[in-house]
Amino acid sequence: MRASAVVPSGVERTFDEDEIIVTKTDTKGVLTYANKVFLRVSALSEAEAIGRPHSLIRHPEMPRAVFKLLWDSLQARQELFAYVVNLAADGAHYWVLAHVTPSLDARGQVVGYHSSRRRPERAAVDAAQELYGRLRAEERRHPGSKEGLDASWAMLQETLGSRGQTYDQFVWELTNAIAV
């Protein structure tokens, strides 16, 4: 099953606040491990998930600029926290606060990536949706996918710059504003 074959239903799924979604991938983003919470929330069996690209759960409403930021961070051997909307195999969607980090072997070489996701607060999702909606609209204004990504990336950088923030600071502002 490919994410592009799944039609979003508009149904939002959540998971318990004490649950953690965990996946591991190889260096190409192919799933090598998925915990039971991931399988349940994404409506996938282990056989449907393992060996498939993690992008299997990519929601079409997730801005490509955020995925560029994710991959740029991982390639620089840095962790990233991000608000992400995913698409389950049955068309439902679910929001997560993701922590993605490179996995290193004993020699310090990157051998894959590890992601832990928690359920985000609704106010943080709403704020992320507002920014992401503007980024997606910018992507769609351009005829080619590269031009759309470049424009969305520039908009993300401009938006964060006008706030005097990095993306990490934006995420933590949303997270901490809810926690206090």
pLDDT at 178: 57
Residue 2 has pLDDT above 90, yes or no: no
- The pLDDT mean for the chain works out to 94
Residue 179 has pLDDT above 90, yes or no: no
16 C-beta neighbours (distance < 10 Å), count: 8
What 8-state DSSP symbol labels residue 58? B
pTM more than 0.85: yes
Q: How confident is the model at residue 56 (pLDDT cuts 50, 70, 90)?
A: very high
Residue 3 has pLDDT above 70, yes or no: no
pLDDT at 5: 83
Q: How confident is the model at residue 93 (pLDDT cuts 50, 70, 90)?
A: very high
Give Cα 97 to chain centroid, integer Å.
Answer: 8
Residue 119 has pLDDT above 50, yes or no: yes
Residue 151 has pLDDT above 60, yes or no: yes
Structure confidence by residue, pLDDT tens digits, 66-76: 999 999 999 99
49 C-beta neighbours (distance < 10 Å), count: 21
φ/ψ of 121, rounded to 5, equals: -75, 150
Domains and CATH numbers, the chain: 3-120 (3.30.450.20)
Contact (CB, 8 A) for 76 and 145:
no
